[in-house]
Amino acid sequence: MFTHTLKQHVIMAAATTLAAVLLAACANAQAQPSTAPAAVAEAAVEAGVVTPPVVEIVTKDHFFEAPAEIEGGWVTVKSRNEGAEPHHVQLARLSDGVTFEAFVEALQQGPEVAFPMLSLAGGPGPLDTGGEAAVTVELAPGQYILADFLPSADGVPHIAKGMLAPLTVTAAPELAVALPEVAGEVKLMSFSFALPQNIQAGEQVWQVTNEGDQWHEISLIKLAEGKTMMDVTHWMHAPDGPPPFTNVGGMQGIDPGESAYLHLNLTPGEYAVLCHIPDPASGKAHTELGMVMPFTVK
């Protein structure tokens, strides 16, 4: 979920810190309703088949501009980062009967108490300032959260600064849906990636499937000119100065067995995909267990 080390992940934050700052996050989410209009574009209908409606979410420092309620089914979620820091949008469905307030209360007791209340539904991956990204995901009706787990420069996770908000997903009409045309398939495994071969520049859609036995994600970074994966590794372990890469989106965490669609517009260069979600058994980030893979876009 993140472009920093596991030590910077909210899961590794002290429980006392979570207890203090997540109360502020809950208050922020309740006191600051979405300032954006309900950005659900009307689906285009052709021969009885609809394209997924579009939901637009803007990330800022440190809150979401997003609708409070949307229709479920297949939905294309677009994000735009207007903040000064990198941001992402993780969608997660709360278990039936769990309220947003109950989840925040559980999170104060520790992630090990709160996270079993969630199923991960994907979302646009990390973006730098001005970046835009889109994913198409299937959302079952229910109560969801929007969350940003990335840390600020001071090490405090964005979720603790207010980037935690409720989202209600309602039932959608039963209509045939035209899913995106797929240019390549991605498999998320424990603990490796299988990527499309001979990746070309330009707009394209990858179908992302979690074939592992736990949550996985795919975050994309583009290496700066002249930089290597060794530079990336050193920076992630000891950030100093600007990162040797840019965040270009990806697919946030999804449950085992689930699939979603990642919309990309790639330019030529050197890239890498990463999964920073921690392994429950070892506590290590998936990157430490092999989920890092460089690739070239021609």
Are 133 and 260 a contacting pair, CB within 8 Å?
no
Is residue 158 located within the same domain as residue 188?
Answer: no
pLDDT at 111 over 80: yes
pLDDT in tens, 263-272: 999 999 999 9
Report the CATH number that the domain containing residue 218 is assigned in CATH.
2.60.40.420
| 72-76, 141-145, 173-177, 208-212: segment of lowest average pLDDT | 173-177
pLDDT in tens, 220-262: 999 999 999 999 999 998 988 999 999 999 999 999 999 999 9
Is residue 286 located within the same domain as residue 152?
Answer: no
CA-atom Rg of the chain in angstroms: 18
pLDDT in tens, 32-82: 443 333 333 344 454 568 999 999 999 999 999 999 999 999 999 999 999
Is residue 137 located within the same domain as residue 70?
Answer: yes
Range of the domain at 58: 6-176
d(CA 61, CA 84): 7
Is residue 106 located within the same domain as residue 132?
Answer: yes
pTM metric for this prediction: 0.86
Question: How many domains does the structure of the chain reveal?
Answer: 2
d(CA 129, CA 151): 15
C-alpha distances (whole Å) from 89 to each of 114, 175, 176, 183, 250 are 18, 27, 27, 24, 10
Looking at 130, 159, 176, the residue that finishes a domain is 176
pLDDT in tens, 149-187: 999 989 999 999 999 999 999 999 989 999 999 999 999
Are 186 and 196 a contacting pair, CB within 8 Å?
yes
Looking at 116, 141, 176, the residue that finishes a domain is 176
Residue 1 falls inside a structural domain: no
Is residue 186 located within the same domain as residue 172?
Answer: no
Are 291 and 192 a contacting pair, CB within 8 Å?
yes
Which distant-in-sequence residues (6+ apart) come within 8 Å of 272 by Cβ? 220, 221, 223, 229, 232, 245, 292, 293, 294, 295
State the residue for tokens 């574009």. 41
Is residue 169 located within the same domain as residue 221?
Answer: no
Determine whether 96 is exposed, middle or buried from the number of CB atoms within 10 Å of its CB (0-12, 13-18, 19+): exposed
Looking at 122, 151, 176, the residue that finishes a domain is 176
